[in-house]
Amino acid sequence: MVTGKKTAQSLSDSQWFGIERYYAAFKGMAHDTFTQSILGLIKEEYMKTLEDHVYVLTEKGEEVLEYENDRLSYLKHLNGLKYASIETSCWQVITLYVQALSNSLYGHFNYSPVVRDYSVIGKVKSIFPKSESERKTHAEKLYREVSRILLEHEPKSADLFVKKLSGYHRIGSTFEQLSRVEDLSQEETILRFRAVLHALINKIVYEKKNFPMLHSLIGSYTEAPALTNSASLTFKMLKNHKSIEEIMNVRNLKMSTLEDHLVEIAREVPDFSLIPYIDEQEVLKLKHFYSKTNETKLRPFKDAFPHLSYFQIRLVLAKEGGKHATGSSA
């Protein structure tokens, strides 16, 4: 889950334990490194083992976490489950656009781009202002929008984000350089930067009218549902009017796997209709039960609605944002 491996299980677990924000928090981390970190915390008596692969904080660990609470407040801006899959593309477009705009305002057009990805370069070229007056206007608007977002973050995190940007006669700092200069661990440096980036993306998703310049840069990335590759293919086939039976036969999928895909799609695609899979009145009853009880486990729903399948219950919970919606029916 923390490495961002996009499987139905990892997506399910991140919601099941209410830790969606930490999904893909440490991309590329080796399992041995994760295990050693756990063992280190146990050795320092910050954690203890309850049973195999189950750990809890000790009183000492709780005290340290409470003490560090303010310093770690930047973590609330992380949203790995929603944005880990698009954060790189969004950042590459932003940093290349800023570099191109900055250089052009100084009349400097012979520079080495910080991003070499042709799709990103093509994206920036397609939206880049043609005239000098347009470039000045766009630069002012972009500055105002980014500044508004950065002011919502503590100075240290905002400063890291700005120092990652490239411009005229300036190449953005690496995480290693920033870590050394700011006297932070590289892990914290990366997490602080990503927290600001996720908050920026979140603004574009929910307040796009207030951030038109940023939306013009990365809006297209935020509109695609964050699905696993397999669920994405199922969604594509559904949009091409393929039936459930056809999808199962063509892709050689089990019904349980396809149900997992549908639950994932229900969670990630706002206009995905549940009506082909459950009666509208039943949806309303389930929603009412959820709002009244705030229940997050599947069993109480099944007890209250024995005539409905676990799959139907999970679908509605996914739409409502229930933590356990993506869990197994078993």
Amino acid at 2: V
The pTM (predicted TM-score) of the whole model is 0.79
Question: Is there a contact between 81 and 11 (Cβ–Cβ < 8 Å)?
Answer: yes
Q: Which helix (H) or strand (E) holds 73?
A: none
User: Residue 327's pLDDT is what?
Assistant: 44
Question: Is there a contact between 302 and 240 (Cβ–Cβ < 8 Å)?
Answer: no
Distance CA 24, CA 249 (A): 33
DSSP state of 253: -
Question: Is there a contact between 192 and 154 (Cβ–Cβ < 8 Å)?
Answer: no
Per-position pLDDT tens, the chain of length 330: 889 877 666 766 776 677 889 999 998 889 999 999 999 999 999 999 999 888 999 999 999 999 999 999 999 999 998 899 899 999 999 999 999 999 999 999 999 999 999 999 999 999 999 999 999 999 999 999 999 999 999 999 999 999 999 999 999 999 999 999 999 999 999 999 999 999 999 999 999 999 999 999 999 998 877 787 888 899 999 999 999 999 999 999 999 999 999 998 998 888 899 999 999 999 999 999 988 887 767 889 999 999 999 999 989 988 876 444 444 443
Sign of CA dihedral 115, 145, 182, 3: negative
CB neighbourhood size of 6 (10 A) = 19
CB neighbourhood size of 108 (10 A) = 11
Q: Which helix (H) or strand (E) holds 62?
A: helix 59-67
User: Residue 128's pLDDT is what?
Assistant: 96
Cα of first residue to Cα of last residue in the chain, in angstroms, is 21
User: Residue 28's pLDDT is what?
Assistant: 86
Beta 54-57 vs 47-51: how paired, if at all? antiparallel
User: Residue 16's pLDDT is what?
Assistant: 66
User: Residue 171's pLDDT is what?
Assistant: 95
Which residue(s) pair with 51 in the sheet? 54
Distance CA 36, CA 26 (A): 14
Residues in the chain: 330
User: Residue 227's pLDDT is what?
Assistant: 80
Structure tokens at 118: 């042709």
CA distances from 159 to 50, 162, 189 (A): 41, 5, 11
